[in-house]
Amino acid sequence: MPINIPETGQKRIVIIGAGFAGLKLARKLKNEDCQLVLIDRNNYHQFQPLFYQVATSGLEPSAISFPLRKVFQKEKNVYIRVTQVTDIDPVKKQIQTAMGYVWYDSLVIATGATTNYFGMKGVIENGIPMKSVSEAVYLRNTLLLNFERAVTMRDPDELQSLLNVVVVGGGPTGVEVCGALAEMKRFVLPKDYPDLNFDLMQITLIEANPHLLHGMSSHSGDRSLVYLKKMGVNVLLDHRVTDYDGKTITLEDGKKLMTETLIWAAGVRGQIPDGVDPQFMTRGNRIKVNRFNQVEGMEGVYAIGDISFMETPKYPNGHPQVAQVALQQAINLGQNYIRKSKGKSPAEFEYEDKGSMATVGRNRAVVDLPFLRFSGAFAWLVWMFVHLMSIVGVKNRMLVFINWLWKYFTFDQSLRLILRPSKKAQERPL
């Protein structure tokens, strides 16, 4: 049964996913002579780089989420449908969803990436990912519940296990969440739980590579390591996790760590709907595309952002799965749609690396620009400005700025709430 979408006679472009790539493309094409159908499991866009601040009670979830219908409130040719895509039929040029099917003239897959557990069943069952707002809230709940339980504990081993936090993955997410936890341990938790000795709490970061922030410069990785050690974080480089049973982490060398909180930030893999021929997929569960982001072998189907794998002379192993690639691919594909409508030839995609950055806490950050690398307080201000300007919505930017300002001067934030959905809410289908 088809989903109710008006038949307008315009060419229909269906975009699956409202992340950085999907939302940018929809905004690029909203004034063009076409019908846009934007499909996502959520009715909001979520700003992924700040998930860790929600998880550590630094920001409220609504501050980094923006309703899709608000974005396109004044656009008459944009139709938003909140549902799950279950299958793609490139022959019939239809996609199947939990609500019904939708036909398309052009289809853009922008479903992004999800957590990669590398096949470790114990980590899948017991580890905590951080790839969505709801997962960030779940992590916040877990941390706070563990502290509440710790207050009641007499057994020193159980107390230690509840207080310890282990983060796996030394990329920007892992480094940033460790920095935020270290600041909570120092400035916030002793005031909230004066009857607990937080000297017992160990924050450990495990990274399989010999340096942090793989993909950034050695300067940034080294400075981040110095910052984290000064903040009391234990950093294990060249170590790999092989198993986790909910209580004990087992490393490749046989070493064991006791914790009831394992935060998994060690890798990502593409989220590909059924219907994409496996021959068009490559490592990391990504879809092979040409220089125009068209899926090879699937007419009228494109993939952009983290889900796409494009080989270029500069990037023979594909582009990094970062927001800037997603945004630039969306802009290029949107421009190519416009060029095509005017009878012009499309342009090949070429990624312009504008740099990367990560923060480790108050007045501590690292920035890699194509022409300059720096760290410290100025880097932290640059990081804040760039992220603030990237958030969708003026109100959300103001909320984030006020939260950051308040936290800077008070060293605290009153957002440590344990919010758990009811059973009925969890069972409600999309």
- Tokens at 170, concatenated: 């030394």
Identify which of 253, 233, 230 has the alpha carbon closest to the alpha carbon of residue 164.
233
- Tokens at 222, concatenated: 């080294």
Task: State the number of CA atoms in the 13 A half-sphere of 121 facing the CB.
Answer: 0
Tell me if 245 sits within 8 A of 383, measured CB to CB.
Answer: no
- Catalytic residue list contains 348: no
Cα(290)–Cα(348) distance, rounded to whole angstroms? 9
- Tokens at 175, concatenated: 């480094």
Cα(320)–Cα(90) distance, rounded to whole angstroms? 28
- Tokens at 234, concatenated: 């234990």
Distances (CA, A) of 109 to 91, 118, 326: 16, 24, 12
Beta pairing, strands 78-82 & 65-67: unpaired
CB within 8 A of 232, min separation 6: which ones? Answer: 182, 185, 186, 203
| Bridge partners, 80 (sequence order) | 38
Tell me if 110 sits within 8 A of 27, measured CB to CB.
Answer: no
Cα(185)–Cα(177) distance, rounded to whole angstroms? 12
Element (H, E) at 16: strand 12-16
Beta pairing, strands 35-40 & 78-82: parallel
Beta carbons within 10 angstroms of residue 86's beta carbon: 13
- Catalytic position from the list 176, 183, 207, 260: 176
Beta carbons within 10 angstroms of residue 254's beta carbon: 7
Catalytic residue ranges? 176
